């Protein structure tokens, strides 16, 4: 950016999934938007990189189910507009803690979401690469988001509607001048805007923690891994697997496990939100060996369709709230989307809509507001 200064409706800080979705939705509304991302396009430093994420509707809470249903419609709309496949609806198998899954199934029935319980025996015959101990809640209209493609298409559509994306442009300062006016300072210029959308992931507290009454946001370095399938024959749904309460066989687990097939890379599996706390500017990118060995043990016991010793660790960040609910709220001219706690990606286009609404003074659902 070579201008000395400029004035726009909205500046979006952060070019990951949520910031890109916010810019997209704002551009669709006809707002003038500049998105600033501190790293280069396609970087691997934050939380939005990688080829795939689970697309999963296994929630019992109504506000999350409403948001994920909206996200499904918006993913389809974006895919149609950009002529890009974004969802692979291979289904998602949820197992472990059957009592919780019954709550999810009841919520699905109330909302007309297709899901069904199948026996462990039937599931084991259907998906021979996996082991099941108890009934499985299968959701056929779930599966994978093509995450890397999603980022590209969000940018493509946003720019087609007038948004401007600037990479390798760190934000050095944000100055609030009034209820409807703020300034973003970069190395090359100052941008004045009516609203600033902060979608900075692990850098949120560093960027606006002294200006906004944020909840505690804990940044961890997570380390899922890709495992090589033993052969090409087993089919792979995406999966979520919770430990069975009180079962000593699961005592070595760190958390529930999530996973999916990433075509060309292997079967991805990981613990959820239990990595070491980290400074996003001082990460080691090195796996924590005890957790990694426990993940290999999980693969040996539960994923017979993979080579458990083939684990290739992946490094990413989670930015989590205490209860894993998202923060979507406005504080004067600053709109903040943060704390997606490792389960936010599936909601991306709907979260973009919520952030765009917050810019226009429309509240987010109660669950996601700070106060």
Q: What is the CA radius of gyration of the chain?
A: 21
- Helix (H) / strand (E) element for 143: namely strand 143-146
- pLDDT, averaged across the chain: 95
CATH of the domain at 149: 3.50.50.60
pLDDT score, position 231: 82
Dist. CA 345–CA 278, nearest whole Å = 21
Residue 294 lies in a domain: no
Residue 112 lies in a domain: no
The neighbour count for residue 116, using CB atoms within 10 Å, is 11
**Residue 48, both tokens:** 């939005």
**Residue 204, both tokens:** 């949120």
Torsional class of 66: left (φ above 0), alpha (ψ -120 to 50), beta (otherwise)? alpha
Pairing relationship of beta strands 92-95 and 116-118 according to DSSP bridges: unpaired
Q: In this structure, are residues 56 and 239 in contact, taking their beta carbons and an 8 Å threshold?
A: no
Percent of the chain whose pLDDT exceeds 70: 98
Three-point CA angle 148, 159, 364, nearest 5°: 75
Which pLDDT band holds residue 3 (cuts at 50, 70, 90)?
A: low
pTM: 0.96
Residue 280 lies in a domain: no
pLDDT score, position 43: 87
Residue 156 lies in a domain: yes
pLDDT score, position 2: 47
Residue 192 lies in a domain: yes
Number of domains within the chain: 1
Residue 360: closest CA among 16, 28, 103: 28
| Residue 270, strand partner residues | 258
Dist. CA 171–CA 204, nearest whole Å = 12
232 pLDDT exceeds 80? Answer: no
107 pLDDT exceeds 90? Answer: yes
Which pLDDT band holds residue 1 (cuts at 50, 70, 90)?
A: very low
Residue position matching structure tokens 């939705």:
25
Three-point CA angle 92, 98, 103, nearest 5°: 85
Pairing relationship of beta strands 5-13 and 190-198 according to DSSP bridges: parallel
Which pLDDT band holds residue 253 (cuts at 50, 70, 90)?
A: very high
Residue 292 lies in a domain: no
Question: Domain of 18?
Answer: 1-86+144-216+323-371
Query: What pLDDT digit, counting tens, does each position of 189-222 carry?
Result: 999 999 999 999 999 999 999 999 999 999 999 9
Q: In this structure, are residues 284 and 223 in contact, taking their beta carbons and an 8 Å threshold?
A: no
Listed in sequence order, the DSSP H helices in the chain are 17-28, 62-82, 98-111, 120-126, 147-160, 204-208, 289-302, 348-359
Q: Within 13 Å of residue 221, how many CA atoms lie on the same side as its CB?
A: 21
Residue 110 lies in a domain: no
Strands (E), 223-287: 225-229, 238-241, 257-262, 266-271
The neighbour count for residue 211, using CB atoms within 10 Å, is 16
Average pLDDT over residues 327-339: 98
Residue 95 lies in a domain: no
Query: What pLDDT digit, counting tens, does each position of 154-169 carry?
Result: 999 999 999 999 999 9
- Helix (H) / strand (E) element for 139: namely strand 136-139
């Amino acid at each position: 950016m070579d201008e000395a200064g400029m004035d726009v409706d909205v500046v979006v800080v952060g070019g990951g999934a949520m910031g890109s979705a916010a810019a997209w939705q704002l551009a669709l509304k006809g707002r003038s938007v500049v998105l600033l991302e501190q790293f280069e396009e396609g970087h691997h430093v934050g939380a939005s990189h990688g080829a795939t994420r689970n697309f999963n509707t296994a929630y019992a809470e109504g506000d999350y189910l409403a948001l994920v249903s909206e996200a499904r419609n918006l993913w389809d709309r974006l895919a149609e507009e950009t002529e890009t496949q974004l969802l692979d609806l291979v289904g998602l198998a949820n197992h472990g803690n059957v009592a919780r899954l019954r709550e999810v199934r009841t919520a699905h029935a109330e909302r007309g979401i297709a899901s069904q319980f199948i026996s462990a025996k039937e599931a084991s015959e259907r998906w021979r690469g996996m082991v099941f101990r108890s009934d499985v809640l299968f959701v056929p209209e779930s599966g994978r988001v093509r995450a890397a493609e999603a980022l590209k298409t969000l940018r493509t559509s946003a720019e087609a509607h007038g948004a401007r994306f600037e990479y390798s442009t760190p934000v050095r300062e944000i100055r609030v001048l009034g209820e409807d006016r703020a300034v973003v300072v970069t190395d090359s210029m100052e941008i004045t805007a009516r609203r600033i959308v902060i979608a900075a992931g692990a850098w949120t507290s560093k960027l606006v923690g002294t200006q906004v009454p944020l909840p505690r946001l804990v940044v961890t370095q997570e380390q899922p891994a890709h495992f090589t399938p033993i052969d090409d024959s087993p089919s792979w749904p995406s999966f979520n697997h919770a430990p069975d309460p009180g079962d000593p066989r699961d005592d070595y687990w760190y958390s529930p496990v999530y996973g999916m097939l990433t075509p060309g890379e292997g079967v991805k599996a990981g613990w959820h939100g239990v990595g070491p706390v980290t400074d996003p500017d001082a990460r080691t990118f090195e796996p924590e060996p005890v957790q990694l060995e426990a993940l290999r043990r999980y693969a040996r016991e539960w994923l017979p369709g993979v080579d458990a010793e083939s684990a290739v660790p992946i490094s990413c960040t989670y930015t989590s709230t205490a209860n894993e609910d998202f923060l979507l709220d406005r504080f004067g001219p600053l709109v903040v989307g943060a704390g997606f706690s490792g389960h936010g990606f599936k909601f991306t286009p709907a979260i973009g809509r919520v952030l765009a609404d917050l810019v226009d003074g429309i509240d987010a659902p109660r669950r996601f507001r700070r106060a």
